[in-house]
Structure 1
């Protein structure tokens, strides 16, 4: 077995017993190809009964979540998400006019900052769309006041696709295209198979599957609208080993937080893992503009930690909100790994700063 930490998955954690997590919300539910597909569907569904001209989004988000609004001729304005006193802070202006408020709980750490504003926004009669991708496996996956909720499953496990939508209101026909984007799915599945063989020690060239993953993302970027979720992926979603996912992530993230809490070169955005959390990643702020050099050093140790998120022309940032993008690194803590792997991450980070 090759020893690498991070990058794309190659396994899907399954259990024989069907899981009922996604049926427990007692809301209208639909399955889609991807998170952006789900969001685009929600926007269209909302526009059938509501006049939506302006959406209020967090400054800290993936460009793929901005795109569906622009594709549906909805103006986007942003509230600030930034770092203050070494914590992630959300600054919502209650006086901003909008028809739709977009909420995110970040990285699978339960955060109560948005609660009051969500309640006030609801009282004003505005629609609330919550992106529960990061908070999906926490004890509070989303605000009860949310009108619409969606979440991508692909970020959590080796599924080639899959996203969920819930609503308090009746949802319209789920898709215009009955089949998933086969070109996209087939590319990702082929890449997963090759990476699995690579990890198992076969002489597979890494660029072979990395190219396939990249090609799949290009396909999705060009053709993401109107696709449902294939039955095979839906069944995989319904049989995810959720208990394992939560347990391993909590253990791994707690180890990272405990060992890195006093590392002078970084700041943890979340200092500890609570019982209600289920971390997607452990985000850190790297001091003195050392994020990119640290990331390169980790790659040299076969540790691949993503950046959330690349800045796109769709983002409208200021100096303070841009700083978050430029200095944040997401440490891997998922269910593929154990504390020995987390110790490798810690040792590599400490070694990097000791060299300075």
Structure 2
């Protein structure tokens, strides 16, 4: 990264590939029998269309766009209480029925085990589906016994598109169709937009004469269209790139960066870090929880002025399913997610922590 173009956060640039990347494929962590889709939403939508559940239950603290995957005739979509600091689900409170599909998630990649005590604790006829987007390589993901699992790989790795679906319990799989540029024109167009944005950003960060507005426009256009329409496969380019990316090493970088940030941040007033640094855990991001929404917005504004671009995961004010506790709506208004992935090193995370402390202390 050119010294004059330093920034932290926001969308991935196209990955810098080391000479070692041209060697043997590295994606040995990919689960057996996995199928690859345009996005995590497409993977889930394909599964729901194959299983045709009567109801789909999503966590209350969750990306609302994912609920669109269950927008199918005759399917009721509900939310159940589950937040980022909860360890276990109250199975009795769920009142599950035969024909239900229960989605559980590893919010921010901090859970070490399923919030369901055991898959056999579910009622007969209930399908358990796990969302491992925030850490497909967690101990939980690798030891899962769920009926199905999926992950939006493009959120976790620098890929222009990509989702993965697999069955830890070895249930019948759902195969992705072969890529066809005509049949999958909508997904191909959004992938091209995202790829263009990633490549332009790579050149921008290197100090070349690329305007930030240009790569942002392509990234926004691609993101706004991704996940729409009928389930489509992962693009051939992203599938090939997946085999070259050092996912396990990059996961370790996340864990180290989060630990560095936590140590550098300390315990400033008005905010707490809700993603814990624990053995075996590689948080997706460093998640801050503020006393109120106004404090969060003040800190976010101060960080953006220093080219630090945090995310809000997720806004749930416009909830798309009944059953979301008001406490989770309020929590979503107060959280701020700081990127800690492989793009950064210790000095970057220390710089971000200093900026957060300074901004918080000025509230």
Q: TM-score normalized by structure 2?
A: 0.87
Q: Find 2:192's aligned residue among 183, 186, 192.
A: 186
Once the two structures are superposed, the pairs formed by residues 128-167 of structure 1 within 5 Å of their partners are: 128-141=128-141, 144-167=144-167
Residues 129-149 of structure 1 show CA distances to partners (whole Å, capped at 9, x for unaligned) of 111111212233266221111
> In structure 2, what is the equivalent of residue 340 of structure 1?
347
CA distance in 2, matches of 1:254, 1:354: 22
Q: 1:213 and 1:117, CA in 2 relative to 1: closer, same or farther beyond 3 A?
A: same
| DSSP-derived class of the 1:94 partner | helix
Structure 2 residue 299 is matched with structure 1 residue 294: yes
Cα distance in 2 between the residues matched to 1:153 and 1:13: 18
Structure 2 counterpart of 1:327: 334
Offset of residue 90 of structure 1: 5.6
> In structure 2, what is the equivalent of residue 245 of structure 1?
250
Instruction: Label 1:313 to 1:353 Cα distance change in 2 as closer, same or farther (>3 A).
Output: closer
Question: Cα offset for 1:104?
Answer: 0.3
Aligned length: 344
Deviations 1:335-355 (A, max 9, x none): 000011101111011101222
Distance 1:248 1:91 in 2: 30
Contact 1:178 1:227 (8 Å CA) reproduced: no
The alignment partner of 1:243 has SS state of helix
Q: Is the 8 A contact 1:283 1:330 kept in 2?
A: yes
The unaligned stretches of length 5 or more in structure 1 are none
Is the counterpart of residue 43 in structure 1 residue 29 in structure 2? no
Q: Does 1:226 align with 2:241?
A: no
1:177-234 CA-to-partner distances (Å, cap 9, x unmatched) read 634522111111111121111111123221211111111122225x342211122211
The answer to whether 1:198 aligns with 2:204 is yes
Structure 1 pair 284–247 and aligned structure 2 pair: CA distance change class (3 A): same
Partner Cα distance (1:242, 1:218) in 2: 26
Paired residue secondary structure (1:81): coil
Cα drift, residue 91 of structure 1:
4.7
SS in 2 for 1:154: helix
Q: Is the 8 A contact 1:151 1:165 kept in 2?
A: yes
- Report if aligned partners of 1:105, 1:134 keep a CA contact under 8 Å in 2: yes
3-state secondary structure, aligned to 1:149: strand
Q: Which residue of 1 aligns with 2:76?
A: 75
Structure 1 residue 124 displacement after superposition: 3.5
SS for the counterpart of 1:342 is: helix
In the alignment, what sits opposite 2:15? 12
TM-aligned CA deviation for residue 265 of structure 1 = 2.2
Question: 2: distance between equivalents of 1:89 and 1:298?
Answer: 31
**1:310 Cα deviation from its structure 2 partner:** 2.4
Say if 1:65 and 1:240 are closer, same or farther in 2 by CA, change over 3 A: same
1:277 aligned residue: 281
